[in-house]
Amino acid sequence: MTWLITGGAGYIGAHVVRAMIEAGERTVVYDDLSTGVAERVPRGVQLVVGSTLDGERVARALTVHDVSGVIHLAAKKRVGESMDLPLHYYRENVEGLRVLLEAVTAAGVPSFVFSSSAAVYGMPDEPLVTEETPCLPMSPYGETKLVGEWLVRATARATSLSTASLRYFNVAGAATPELADTGVSNLIPMVFERLTDNAPPRIFGDDYETPDGTCVRDYIHVVDLAEAHVAAARTLQSSPGRHLTLNIGRGEGVSVREMIDHINAITGYDRPPTTTPRRPGDPARVVASADRAATELAWKAKHDIQDMITSAWEGWVRVHPEAARR
Ligand code: WQD
């Protein structure tokens, strides 16, 4: 069978494609290349350049490639940007999904894996976030992911589509330097950038109600996340009629200060951080309960924080060779 992977030229999508191929699955990438990079698509995998808003093009791709499963990662994912461009986010993430689901159901494709986010929870007031924790997104980005889950769920109820919505926690690392994240919008690359510029890494607030006062997150290696997609795809394929909503995290909280300590140790910079005021909208602690994914998918993350930072750093140095000159 062939899996269509939307957003397969993106950072996470390219890792999913890689993992699916390693698992022996046939894949086709569908990506509008707005943020995706064609070079990330491996040789031998066909790339269809198109938007999921283009229903006809999606429909054609589904038929031409005889697709029997879709993994949908194509989306806009910058929380801050979504505050300024909510209509753009709703169009790309919600309307793009609605059009895609129309084509998927019309073509009778049986399996659908949806890329969701821990952003659906907003500011959860629980030490470990379960899938039953109330969803109260704090940004248009998070809203589009929650509405996306609803769209997927409603479609599943009305059709025979088997579905899995995977709520990613904080994704980091790379399988190879070439596949590393090229954006600088998350903690690890932002700290790398400061170190490369010979500036102290910044802690956005150290007066949170957490053990060291800095925010706690659940970081997950992108290779583990990609494996979760393989497990979800296989589960839907082997037991149709499933409708899964799963946290994809490690269930382990790491504070911003601890992350910066690890980054300093691994990169050899040893640059003490400076504390700035809180970044608006940051929850103190977001850590997954990863139990349901373990039970439903027989999947568990294998890589630790060191693996994430080391592999991310190798990707950073590839693009910023000056960072290694010390
Ligand atoms: C982590 C922590 C910052 C940079 C976001 C989205 C989420 C998902 C992943 C999309 C926070 C702190 C950061 C710095 C810092 N995105 N920080 N100094 O905000 O947990 O999650 O990205 O799919 O939906 O909300 O991730 O990496 O931006 O921040 O102190 O220089 O690091 O304040 O506490 P976040 P992040």
Per DSSP, the residues of 197-224 read TT---EEE-S-SSSTTSS-EE-EEEHHH
Ligand 1 atom with least separation from CA of 170? 9
Q: 316 with 183: CB under 8 angstroms? A: no
| Low-confidence spans in the chain with pLDDT less than 50 | none
In this structure, which residue's CA is closest to atom 7 in ligand 1? 119
pLDDT at 231: 98
- Distance (angstroms) between ligand 1 centre and the Cα of 293 equals 23
Atom of ligand 1 nearest to the CA of 204: 30
Rounded distance between C-alpha atoms, residue 112 and residue 236, angstroms: 8
Testing ligand 1's pocket by substitution, the residue of 192, 204, 247, 309 carrying the most ligand atoms inside 8 A of its CB is: 204
pLDDT digits over 186-195, tens only?
A: 999 999 999 9
Q: What is the pTM (predicted TM-score) of this model? A: 0.97
Closest residue CA from atom 33 of ligand 1: 204
Ligand 1: centre distance to CA 16 (Å): 22
Round to whole Å and give the CA distance between 179 and 9: 10
Identify which of 138, 256, 287 to mutate to test ligand 1's pocket (most ligand atoms within 8 A of the CB). Answer: 256
Strand partners, 33: none
CA 264 – CA 221 distance, rounded (Å): 19
Which alpha helices (DSSP H) does 140-273 contain, by range? Answer: 140-158, 187-196, 222-238, 256-267
DSSP single-letter state for residue 16: H
Taking the CA of residue 259 as reference, the ligand 1 atom at the shortest distance is 32
**Kind of pairing, strands 46-49 and 202-204?**
unpaired
Packing angle between helix 55-64 and helix 96-106, nearest 10 degrees?
40
pLDDT of residue 278: 96
**Which bin fits 248, alpha (ψ -120 to 50), beta or left (φ > 0)?**
beta
Give the mutation target among 92, 121, 170, 264 for probing the ligand 1 site: most ligand atoms within 8 A of CB.
170
* Cα–Cα distance for residue pair 96/142, rounded to 1 Å: 15
pLDDT of residue 326: 55
Q: Which residue has its alpha carbon closest to ligand 1 atom 9?
A: 170
248 C-alpha to center of ligand 1: Å?
16
Quote the ligand 1 centre to 171 CA distance (angstroms). 10
19-64 residue pLDDT tens: 999 999 999 999 999 999 999 999 999 999 999 999 999 999 999 9
Residue nearest to ligand 1 atom 4, measured at CA: 187
- Taking the CA of residue 217 as reference, the ligand 1 atom at the shortest distance is 20
Instruction: Report ipTM (2 d.p.).
Output: 0.97
For residues 78 and 45, the answer to whether their CB atoms sit within 8 Å is no
Q: Which residues line ligand 1 (CB under 6 A)?
A: 77, 79, 117-119, 170, 186-187, 190-191, 202-204, 215, 217, 256, 279, 282
Contact, 104 vs 152, CB < 8 A?
A: no
- Catalytic machinery residues: 141
- Residue 256 Cα, ligand 1 centroid: separation in angstroms? 9
Distance 223 CA to ligand 1 centre (A): 19
